[in-house]
Amino acid sequence: MYPVKYHKATSIADAVAALSAGDDATILAGGQTLLATMKQHLADPSDLVDIRSIDGMAGVSAAGNVLTIGAATTHADVAGNADVQKLCPALAELASHIGDPAVRNMGTIGGSIANNDPAADYPAAMLALNATIVTNTREVAADDFFDGLFGTALDDGEIITAVKVTAPSKAAYAKFAQQASLFALVGVFVADGAGGVRVAVTGAGEDGVFRQSGMEAALASGWSEAALDGVAASEDGLMSDLHGSADYRAHLIGVMAKRAVAAA
Amino acid sequence: MTTINMTVNGKAVSGDVPDQTLLSEFLRENLRLTGTHVGCDTSQCGACVVHINGKPVKSCSTLAASLDGADVKTIEGVSNGELHPMQQAFNDNHGLQCGFCTPGMIMTSIDMVERYKAAGKDLTSDAIRAELEGNICRCTGYHNIVKSIEDAAAKM
């Protein structure tokens, strides 16, 4: 790994100062993508600003039917949290299948969302659940947050502090995992909640996570697998790579959407 | 450079390390605890799994500098005079061939059994296989690893 300077931030202000002081400083949370990327020399930040020790950055709280999940909460802690299991079991289930157990003990929800990997699981959940991404400066709707491959609405020096999720009446996530990486070859999150009926797809889009409006309309008029029978996912704009062609991914979107609807 | 202090296998240790030092490097090169293996360098194989504050993590994907004050347990720390039941079970059931992945398998498996017991959940062979998603073995085909863990689970 190239040399890097490590900072353990003690407050948001401390983190913001360290981020602006470095030539090319970046935020470190669980590091389960960032450190692997740095080891392969695909990332070379000058400084790492570790935000995990900042008060209030990790943990889950529930107020009424709204969950607030701290950005530095690990996947294992989201999966095992009683409030998440009660108010949004689909999200707990999703978190319990990210990567492997060791990765889930380190990787964080904020890191996953900030990275916006086109095959990551959490972005699909955020979009389908109409979640709110809370940063040190503002609140952003998930619809306005994810912006193409690895792109987000975050400004320089902006730090995700939490996500807010309103309990849906129904939700489920179905993932067809790429067997070596355990990322989604195709993952579909379906939800009927505060944002209406939503279907979000990860792993498939050339521009990252997206909503499948045809399926949303079909499910809004009747929540059943059969409602999706006539809705073919287009292969336009889908990824083709060694793991699967665009038409295969399009087929999988239909299969995974039905599985998710059945499980919700 | 960062000065780090941590507890490793019950002993207080410290060191001055470059900030980019991975925990796996600190354990192997500074502390000479070479039981923690580095198999892949892509964060996928799990040979380097150790326990940090009681939880299994990949030591190749964690910065030593971030672990000031942490309590770390490596494969060298699991036996208590005699082999840990999980080590004995891998021995009894031929749960390894070349043995390179075994330290990570053992560290993952000990946590797996303890976690399932604490939750009162049944550790089925399917559950064992799912829990081993992050530990890759190129020799055994996993059958004897699963048998080893089932054997140890009955004794732990």
Judge whether residue A106 has pLDDT over 90.
yes
A105 contacts in chain B (CB < 8 Å): 52, 55-57
CATH of the domain at B144: 1.10.150.120
Whether residue A15 lies inside any domain: the answer is yes
State pLDDT tens for residues A29-50. Answer: 999 999 999 999 999 999 999 9
Interface contact flag, B61 A36, Cβ < 8 Å: yes
User: Quick one: A148 and A246 in the same domain?
Assistant: yes
The pLDDT assigned to A159 comes to: 98
Judge whether residue A181 has pLDDT over 90.
no
CA distances from A262 to A112, A171, A195, A209 (A): 27, 10, 20, 22
- CA distance between the termini of chain A: 44
Judge whether residue A180 has pLDDT over 90.
no
B74 contacts in chain A (CB < 8 Å): none
* Range list of H helices, chain A: 12-21, 34-39, 75-80, 82-87, 89-95, 101-104, 109-115, 122-128, 142-145, 213-220, 246-263
Amino acid sitting at position A28: L
- The count of structural domains within chain B is 2
Interface contact flag, B19 A36, Cβ < 8 Å: no
User: Quick one: A80 and A26 in the same domain?
Assistant: no
Residue from A35, A57, A117 whose CB has the most chain B CBs within 10 Å, to mutate = A35
Whether residue A161 lies inside any domain: the answer is yes
CATH of the domain at A107: 3.30.465.10
B134 contacts in chain A (CB < 8 Å): 99-103
B2 contacts in chain A (CB < 8 Å): 6
Distance CA A69, CA B64 (A): 27
User: Quick one: B49 and B98 in the same domain?
Assistant: no
Ramachandran area for residue B80 (φ above 0: left; ψ -120 to 50: alpha; else beta): beta
For residue A100, give the chain B residue with the closest CA. Answer: B134
Q: Which domain holds residue B43?
A: 2-77
The pLDDT assigned to A232 comes to: 87
User: Quick one: A108 and A219 in the same domain?
Assistant: yes
User: Quick one: B138 and B121 in the same domain?
Assistant: yes
User: Quick one: B41 and B97 in the same domain?
Assistant: no
Helix pair B85-92, B102-119: axis angle to 10 deg: 120
Interface contact flag, B108 A101, Cβ < 8 Å: yes
Q: Length of chain A in residues, anyone? A: 264
CB-based contact A205:A186 (threshold 8 Å): no
For residue B131, give the chain A residue with the closest CA. Answer: A101
Of A113, A158, A152, give the one whose Cα is nearest residue A95: A113
Q: Strand order in A47-50's β-sheet?
A: A5-8, A47-50, A25-28
Interface contact flag, B63 A31, Cβ < 8 Å: yes
Interface contact flag, A102 B46, Cβ < 8 Å: yes
The pLDDT assigned to A60 comes to: 98
Of B66, B127, B134, give the one whose Cα is nearest residue A102: B134
The pLDDT assigned to A227 comes to: 96
B133 contacts in chain A (CB < 8 Å): 99-101, 182
Domain finish residue from B47, B77, B107: B77
Q: Which domain holds residue A15?
A: 5-50
* Tens-binned pLDDT, residue by residue, of chain B (156 aa): 999 999 999 999 999 999 999 999 999 999 999 999 999 978 899 999 999 999 999 999 999 999 999 999 999 999 988 999 999 999 999 999 999 999 999 999 999 999 999 999 999 999 999 999 999 999 998 999 999 999 999 999
A102 contacts in chain B (CB < 8 Å): 46, 49, 56-58, 108, 134
Judge whether residue A55 has pLDDT over 90.
yes
The pLDDT assigned to B65 comes to: 97
Kind plus residue range of the DSSP H or E element containing B104: helix B102-119
Query: Over pLDDT 70: what percentage of chain A?
Result: 100
Interface contact flag, A106 B20, Cβ < 8 Å: no
**How near does any CA of chain A get to the CA of B56, in Å?**
5
User: Quick one: A64 and A28 in the same domain?
Assistant: no
DSSP state of B72: E
Distance CA A187, CA A120 (A): 9
State pLDDT tens for residues A196-244. Answer: 999 999 999 999 999 999 999 999 999 999 999 989 889 999 999 999 9
B112 contacts in chain A (CB < 8 Å): 101
What are the residues of chain A with a beta carbon less than 8 Å away from any beta carbon of chain B? Answer: 1-6, 8, 28, 31-32, 35-36, 38-40, 48, 50, 52, 76, 99-103, 105-106, 180-182
Query: Over pLDDT 90: what percentage of chain A?
Result: 96
User: Quick one: A166 and A119 in the same domain?
Assistant: yes
Domain finish residue from B34, B58, B77: B77
- CA distance between the termini of chain B: 41
User: Quick one: A28 and A87 in the same domain?
Assistant: no
Of A1, A6, A102, the CB nearest to B2: A6
Q: For the purposes of burial, counting CB atoms within 10 Å of the CB of A53, is it exposed (0-12), middle (13-18) or buried (19 or more)?
A: middle
Judge whether residue A179 has pLDDT over 90.
no
Q: Strand order in A160-166's β-sheet?
A: A60-63, A66-70, A160-166, A132-135, A139-141
